C-alpha cells in the first residue's frame, strides 16, 4: 500500500508535469529548430548573458573578461582551444570572479548553447550590424574571436546575428567584451521581449 507521503509526492509530480506541458512552445528559429525539438517548452522568462571566447591566447585577457563578467552579471564564460590553459594565472582577475562565475573549457561552442539562448558573433566584418543600433536578445551567448585572428565564417554563419562596434581598427579582446556588456546594460530592459522578461 502507498504511504500518505508517497501519494502526496506522486500527486505533486503529476501536477508539476501538467504545468510543464502547459507552457508555450519555443518560437521557431533556425538555431533552436536544429538543437531543440519542436514543442520544447519555454522554461523561464529570465534574461541573461553568457560569453564564448574562441581560442583565446592570453590569460591577461581572459582574466579581464572574467572581471567584466563579474561587473556586468554574466552567467558563465566558455572558451575553446588550449592556448590559454597553458598559461592561466588570472593575473587581471583581481576580484577572483572565476571563483564565482563558471569558466568552462569546451571543444566546440555550439555544444553549450543554453536553452532559448541566441548566439551572437561579435566581429569587425563586412555585413555585421552596428552595436549602437542593436536590440540585444533576452538571452545571449556573445562570441568573440582570438587576439591574433578573427571569428571564421562558419561560426559567424551559425550565429543568429553578427554585430560590430564602429571603431577605427579593432579593439583589444577584453575591451570589446566590456563594450558589448556595457551596451547591453545601458539599454536596460530593452531586450527583444522588453519588460516581459525579468
Ligand X SMILES: C[S@@+](CC[C@H](N)C(=O)[O-])C[C@H]1O[C@@H](n2cnc3c(N)ncnc32)[C@H](O)[C@@H]1O
Binding segment toward ligand X, per CB under 6 A, in 6-14, 81-89, 97-105, 146-154: 146-154
Stretch in the footprint of ligand X (CB under 6 A) among 17-25, 41-49, 112-120, 149-157: 149-157
Among 50, 97, 122, 141, binds ligand X (CB under 6 A): 122
Interface with ligand X, residue 144, by CB under 6 A: yes
* C-alpha–C-alpha distance, residues 18 and 4, integer Å: 21
Q: Note whether 76 and 52 are within 8 A (CB).
A: no
Query: Which pairing describes strands 48-53 and 139-144: parallel, antiparallel, or unpaired?
Result: parallel
141 neighbors 120 (Cβ within 8 angstroms): yes
CB atoms within 10 A of CB 37: 8
| Residue 176 sits in the site that holds ligand X (CB under 6 A) | yes
Q: Which of 41, 115, 170, 183 binds ligand X (CB under 6 A)?
A: 170
The Cα–Cα gap between 79 and 66 comes to: 12
Q: Which stretch binds ligand X (CB under 6 A): 71-79, 92-100, 104-112, 170-178?
A: 170-178
Least distance (Å) between residue 18 CB and ligand X: 44
Our finding on whether 124 is near ligand X (CB under 6 A) is: yes
**Alpha-carbon span 52 to 99, nearest angstrom:** 18
Does the footprint of ligand X cover residue 56 (CB under 6 A)? no
Q: Is 55 in the site for ligand X (CB under 6 A)?
A: no
Candidates 30-38, 69-77, 87-95, 140-148; binding stretch for ligand X (CB under 6 A): 140-148
Q: Is the Cβ–Cβ distance between 59 and 83 less than 8 Å?
A: no
- C-alpha 133/C-alpha 123 separation (Å) is 15
184 close to 49: Cβ distance less than 8 angstroms: yes
Residues that bind ligand X (CB under 6 A): 122-124, 144-145, 147, 149-151, 164-165, 167, 170-173, 176
Amino acid at each position: 500500500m502507498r504511504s500518505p507521503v508517497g501519494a502526496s509526492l506522486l500527486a505533486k509530480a503529476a501536477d508539476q508535469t501538467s504545468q510543464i506541458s502547459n507552457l508555450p512552445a519555443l518560437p521557431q528559429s533556425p538555431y533552436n529548430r536544429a538543437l531543440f525539438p519542436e514543442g520544447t517548452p519555454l522554461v523561464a522568462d529570465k534574461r541573461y548573458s553568457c560569453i564564448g571566447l574562441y581560442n583565446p591566447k592570453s590569460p591577461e585577457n581572459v582574466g579581464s573578461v572574467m572581471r567584466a563578467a563579474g561587473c556586468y552579471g554574466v552567467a558563465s564564460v566558455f572558451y575553446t582551444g588550449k592556448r590559454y590553459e597553458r598559461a592561466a594565472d588570472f593575473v587581471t582577475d583581481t576580484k577572483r570572479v572565476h571563483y564565482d562565475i563558471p569558466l568552462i573549457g569546451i571543444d566546440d561552442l555550439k555544444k553549450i548553447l543554453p536553452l532559448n539562448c541566441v548566439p551572437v558573433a561579435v566581429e569587425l566584418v563586412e555585413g555585421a550590424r552596428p552595436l549602437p543600433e542593436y536590440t540585444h536578445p533576452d538571452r545571449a551567448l556573445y562570441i568573440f574571436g582570438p587576439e591574433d585572428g578573427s571569428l571564421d565564417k562558419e561560426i559567424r554563419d551559425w550565429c543568429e546575428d553578427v554585430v560590430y562596434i564602429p571603431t577605427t581598427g579593432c579593439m583589444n579582446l577584453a575591451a570589446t567584451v566590456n563594450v558589448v556588456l556595457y551596451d547591453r546594460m545601458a539599454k536596460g530592459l530593452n531586450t527583444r521581449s522588453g519588460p516581459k522578461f525579468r
